Structure formats: C-alpha cells, structure tokens
Amino acid sequence: MEDSNRENQDASPNRREFLGAVSAAALLGFDVQTTFAETGITENNLDFLKKYSTSLLESAIYLLKGTHDGITLTRPGLLRQTDASETLVGYAVTSVFSTDADDARGRRDNPDYWNYVFEETGPKIAVSVDASRSAGTGSSWGQQNAHIHKGLGCRGVLTNGGVRDIKVFREIGLEVFSASLTAAHGNPHFVEFGKTVALNGAKINSGDVVCADEHGAIVVPREYLPVIEQAAAETARRVSLVAEYSRRKDFSPAGLADVIKKLRPTTPWRPTR
C-alpha cells in the first residue's frame, strides 16, 4: 500500500489524472483492470479513437452518460484546413495568445511555454485560443510555430484564430483546425498556457483527451476510455437496424416506428465489462 501511495504522489499531473479516471470508471461499475488489459489502452495509446468520427463519439458518450448535457464539443466554425482521413487524437496542451496587443499584456517567455508542451504526455494537440480584440486579424500560427510544435510532439493545432503558411503545415504533417487562414502576422505572443481555455464554446483543460475531424472537436472523458468502443459499437448497431429496414421493399412508417421503438430499451444500456 505504501509503494502504491508513493507511485501516485510521484506521478506527473497527466499520470495522476489517468489514475483518477481509472478509479472513476471503477465507481461506474466497469471491470477496469480487465478492460484496460484487454484493450491495451494506456495513457500513451489513444490511437484506437482515430477510427471514430466525432459525431459517433458524441453519440457514444451520450449512451454512456444518458444525456447530452455536459458533453464538451466545439460550436461550428472550426474548419479542417489540412487533408487527412482519420480523426485527430491527442492530449490537449492549452494556451492563450494575442496578436494585436503590445508585450505589456502579460507576455510569457516562449521557453516557458515550450518547456510546458515538451513535458506533457503525448500524443499532443495544441489547443490555442486567440484572445485578440478581433481574433484572426493576425496569426500566432505560421511556419515557425509549425516546425516548433512538430518538434515538441504535437500532431495538430486547434485555434479560433488565423493560420498562415498552411502549405508548411501540410508538408510536415501537422494538422490544422482554425477559424480562418490569413496572410497577416501582427504582434503574436503567448499570454498564458497550461490552463483551462474556452475554444468555440468548449471548455478544454490541459491534458484532456481531444478528438477532432471535419465536424469539429470533442473531449472524451478519461473514465469512458475503457468502454467507449462498446458504446460506439452499440450506436452503430442501432443505426444499422434503421438503415437495413429503410432498404426493405415492405418499408412503411408503421414498421419504421416499430424498429425505432426497439432501439429504446426500458432499462438504460450499460457496457458489459
């Protein structure tokens, strides 16, 4: 017991959060140790989420929560600026920047920010909020930050601001989700980092599991990681029943109503492990 306590105390923030998620899943009734062992999910292995769209993940989280309330996702306006077929997946590294204020506005030295990103658990996604008076009139995200963040272990960047030098991001394989593209530079500098940020209506914490695709971005609660695949499979199964019936020659509104009724069990769906 003493060794276990010491492990928790010595763990990094991301590690402590991951262990906390495991405990939360146990409280929900999941066989956590078996589930994690079976799936191979670890704090450094999130790639199984790449195969799911954010819309399917939202439905899967709804199935686990029993409500759409409290699901963290972005409002429309975050556009995928790079070509990729898979969902972008990683841990959030958060920052707030400005491009239209002078350096007196709480400028943080870049090495402090770099060290923060470097030390966080990967894979990483830079979640960067433009807090300028008019977001996107300048850009903190161009070819220099593209190369830097690729070196820091980031897979992509999500920002409500403008991005320039988009060809460089595409060439080096750093994904971009932004509100716009721009040629402007401005006076970019980081104001703060490592804190909770609000991006297009979504409150995202440093270390959150974030998935993004052409629909936008969503946070997958860590306690759901062991069972999200089951929930996604159940969601897909329900959709397939409707799709199959809709192709039948004897299709009718009454028959469709019966199918829909079967998709609403009297007891809430729960994962089996």
Please report, in tens digits, the pLDDT of each residue of the chain (273 residues total).
Answer: 444 444 434 444 454 444 444 434 443 444 444 344 444 555 568 999 999 999 999 999 999 998 889 999 999 999 999 988 899 999 999 999 988 766 555 555 688 899 999 999 999 999 999 988 777 677 889 999 999 999 999 999 999 999 999 999 999 999 999 999 988 877 787 889 999 999 999 999 999 999 999 999 999 999 999 999 999 999 999 999 999 999 999 999 999 999 988 887 666 778 876
Q: Which two tokens stand for residue 36?
A: 């994690």
Q: Which amino acid is at 220?
A: V
Q: How far is CA 247 from the centre of its chain?
A: 35
Distance CA(119)–CA(242), nearest Å, equals: 47
Q: Extract the tokens encoding 76.
A: 């429309």
Residue 178: per-residue pLDDT? 95
What are the CA-CA distances from residue 52 to residues 88, 180, 212, 231, 235 (Å)? 10, 25, 10, 11, 11
Amino acid 137: pLDDT? 76
How many residues belong to the chain?
273
CA–CA separation, 124 and 156 (whole Å): 8
Q: How far apart are CA 14 and CA 209, in angstroms?
A: 11
DSSP bridge partners of 259? none
Q: Where are the alpha helices (DSSP H) in 179-252?
A: 228-246
Largest CA distance in the chain: 71
In this structure, what DSSP letter does residue 47 have?
A: G
pLDDT at residue 263 in the model: 81
pTM exceeding the 0.75 threshold for the entire prediction:
yes
User: Reduced to 3 DSSP states, what percent helix, strand and coil does the chain have, rounded to the nearest 5?
Assistant: 40, 20, 40
Cα dist. 21→147, 154, 228, 267 in Å?
33, 23, 13, 25
